[in-house]
Amino acid sequence: MNKVMHGVVLVVFGAACWWLSQILVKMPLMVLPAAARLRSVTIEQVSLPAFTRLCMAAGPVVLAVFALGALAYCIYVWVRKTGSPVSWTGFLATTMSGLVLVLLPTIVAIYIPLVDFLNHLAPAVPK
């Protein structure tokens, strides 16, 4: 049962890492067309803030390393001799804590382009 729960935690963690990396890569880019229309320029002329670009580049790599590390740990748990059982709750706490650690900068990276767009929108609104 303990090894099965490690597998369940690994599947949930892997799915959460994939979902978060997709959000990180795609969500900030959704603001660019609206920002380009607002500024009357092409999409190529509108750039994302530096922190967002950094998170978009490094975030999926960090999440992949986390997922591969969790996979390596699960393989270790599955192939080791049956001695003292390793609790799956520690594995759950560790994986979810790592996920939250990456989630916080991701939320900031997603909202920075939105706030930048809203700041540029204010002068364009007629009075």
Rounded to whole angstroms, how far apart are CA atoms 48 and 54? 10
Residues 6 or more apart whose CB falls under 8 angstroms from that of 6 comprise 74, 77, 78, 86, 88, 91
Q: How many domains does the chain have?
A: 1
Ranges of the chain whose pLDDT falls below 70:
123-127
Average per-residue pLDDT in the chain?
86
Q: In angstroms, rounded to a whole number, what is the distance separating the alpha carbons of residues 118 and 28?
A: 14
The per-residue pLDDT for 35 is 78
* pTM beyond 0.95, yes or no: no
Q: What is the pLDDT of residue 116?
A: 83
pLDDT at 124: 58
Query: Rounded distance, CA 41 to CA 108, Å?
Result: 26
Identify the domain containing residue 47 by its residue range: 2-124
